[in-house]
Amino acid sequence: MLPPEERLVGAQLHRYIEDKLYWVLHAPRQTGKTTFLQSWMRKINTDNKAVSCYVSVERCQGLTEPGKAMPALRNAIRKYAHGYKLPEPQAGTNDPASMLSETLVNWAELTAPKPLIVLFDEVDVLTGDALISFLRQLRDGFADRGAGKFPVSIALVGMRDLKDYITAAKGGVPVNPGSPFNIKADSAFLGNFDKDDIERLFAQRTAETGQQITAEALNYVYEQSRGQPWIVNSLFQRATMRILDESGTETVTVEHILEAREQMILARETHLDALAYRLEDPQIRIVMETLMTGEPDPLLAQGEPFRLCLDLGLVALEEGTPQVANPIYREVIARQMTYSTQLAIPKPEWKWAKSDGTLDVDSLLKEFQIFWRNNSEAWEDRMNYPEAFPHLLLMAFLQRVTNGEGRIEREYAAGRGRMDLAIEYKGVWNIIEVKLLRKNRSFDKVKEEGLKQVCQYRERIDPAASAYLVIFDRRPDKPEWSERLTWDSSGYSAVTVVGC
């Protein structure tokens, strides 16, 4: 356990109480928001200078009408006050337009002479008129806030910044200065772990049990998670409590973390399952398709879909480049997007392994060319991601063969103009780069670019790996199949160029 307040960005906790401020905290799910709120609540109450209460408004989910949402919210307040053995506000009025404000006034009276601080969690669930009513009632009491009158400080916590909720509640109309919560002082963010945090976290286990972890394994945890707290904890937990004996002291190695990673992805734990569900959202689909194809889009970062993906933690900016937030999300997204397609691909009956048991990628890709010719035109119209269809079908084809015995590392990001795949099977690496041939471009030009790129990628993964450049012809006036399906293994730096 690491103190989550260490990862707060843009927050000044002491000011919120001393200066009677209302503020917003936003961060993706499973980053420690609730843990922070409950920890801070206990600290405030232990200091005994104020009364603080954590309140989750999750029970209001799906209740867009104030007449239903406000009674549910009032009941939540009373439930949490009772649960934390704090003064419990009275029921009060039945008018939804003032129910929350009157409840908070009564609650402040009961905690006097100490000031009241309320930490509202899961604000994401409030939408439409219910959200607007909630914010207006908080704003109405803001001017009179003080001990015995109204909460002196209120935190609204969720996945998105408050202006995004208001915009959504108003049907996409941007926030104006008269918005229902223009009284907020700060909009803070809860960040991920850094490398030192991950090392400190495992060091606590070492101190308790004596169990060690290699530097390589720690680095791999950070590389795969990019510090996302839930992923870090899940990898450590699986490695130490499932793969290894929980009571043992065997050193955790990168091989244990690799196995934990695969187990976690296959198990589709709740957090990853929720991530996969998000891919059904058309706004998220737009962003993911752009990242997967790597096609440049100068308007990508300006749109609401991109901001949504940032707030949900699906996307991050690395050196100014939008990409999926971490390799594990990248893997989950790719597998989810190809899962139904993979099930529709017949079990391979052709020889795809060499005599030594390693992958015969030449045979695999030649069979894929046949499969692409026979099925691509019929299947494409049924895909939710038409722009990324070639990438998805190839990945599904590869996964169908390697599933359970190999692994695929995937790299894709906006503006790269390609997708990189690294297949590890029986300890041997093969590199595949995917590029699209668009209108007004020539095959030779795309091939020239791709050859340089795939060689750079191979040098980073394994200089001895076999490398392939797969070019999908997506031009409206593309030639006949006999001209498109090409195979050239005599070219630049031993890279086989596969035309589709």
- What's the confidence (pLDDT) of residue 468? 96
List, for residues 126-140, the tens digit of each pLDDT value.
988 999 899 989 988
Higher pLDDT, 351 or 39: 39
- Give the residue extent of every domain in the chain: 4-190, 195-267, 340-499
Q: Is 439 exposed, middle or buried (0-12, 13-18, 19+ CB in 10 A)?
A: exposed
- What's the confidence (pLDDT) of residue 320? 79
Question: Which residues are registered as beta bridge partners of 121?
Answer: 56
List, for residues 301-319, the tens digit of each pLDDT value.
777 888 888 888 888 888 7
What token pair was written down for 218?
A: 């720690």
Cβ contact 178:170 at 8 Å: no
Residue 421 predicted with pLDDT over 60 = yes
Name the least confident of 166-170, 189-193, 229-233, 327-331: 166-170
> What's the chain's average pLDDT?
87
- What's the confidence (pLDDT) of residue 96? 94
Measured distance CA(463)–CA(58) in Å, rounded = 52
- What's the confidence (pLDDT) of residue 404? 63
pLDDT confidence tier of residue 178, bands split at 50, 70 and 90: very low
Measured distance CA(285)–CA(302) in Å, rounded = 16
CATH topology of domain 4-190: Rossmann fold (3.40.50)
Measured distance CA(323)–CA(326) in Å, rounded = 8
Measured distance CA(272)–CA(333) in Å, rounded = 9
- What's the confidence (pLDDT) of residue 412? 82
Phi, psi (rounded to 5 degrees) for 107: -65, -40
pLDDT confidence tier of residue 270, bands split at 50, 70 and 90: low
Please report the DSSP string for 85-139 in residue order: T-PPPP-----HHHHHHHHHHHHHHHHTTS-EEEEEE-GGG--HHHHHHHHHHHH
pLDDT confidence tier of residue 273, bands split at 50, 70 and 90: confident
Query: What is the DSSP secondary structure assignment for residue 52, as one 8-state letter?
Result: E
Name the least confident of 42-46, 69-73, 204-208, 240-244: 240-244
- What's the confidence (pLDDT) of residue 192? 92
**Average pLDDT for residues 103-125, to the nearest whole number?**
95
Phi, psi (rounded to 5 degrees) for 407: -140, 155
- What's the confidence (pLDDT) of residue 180? 44
Q: How much of the chain exceeds pLDDT 90, in percent?
A: 48
Residue 289 predicted with pLDDT over 90 = no
List, for residues 363-409, the tens digit of each pLDDT value.
999 999 999 999 888 888 777 777 888 998 999 888 887 776 778 88
Please report the DSSP string for 346-378 in residue order: PPP-S--B-TTSSB-HHHHHHHHHHHHHHHHHH
Cβ contact 23:11 at 8 Å: yes
pLDDT confidence tier of residue 167, bands split at 50, 70 and 90: low
Residue 109 predicted with pLDDT over 90 = yes
Higher pLDDT, 384 or 464: 464
- What's the confidence (pLDDT) of residue 117? 96
Top-confidence range, 23-32, 95-104, 259-268: 95-104
Measured distance CA(403)–CA(397) in Å, rounded = 10
Higher pLDDT, 386 or 465: 465
- What's the confidence (pLDDT) of residue 493? 82
- Give Cβ neighbours of residue 180 (< 8 Å, ≥ 6 apart): 132, 135, 136, 138, 139, 166
Please report the DSSP string for 380-421 in residue order: HTT-S-STTHHHHHHHHHHHHHHTTTEEEEEE-BTTS-SEEE
- What's the confidence (pLDDT) of residue 245? 78
pLDDT confidence tier of residue 165, bands split at 50, 70 and 90: low
- What's the confidence (pLDDT) of residue 173? 45
Query: What is the DSSP secondary structure assignment for residue 251, as one 8-state letter?
Result: P
Higher pLDDT, 302 or 235: 235
CATH class given for the domain over 195-267: mainly alpha
Name the least confident of 226-240, 383-397, 400-414, 478-492: 400-414
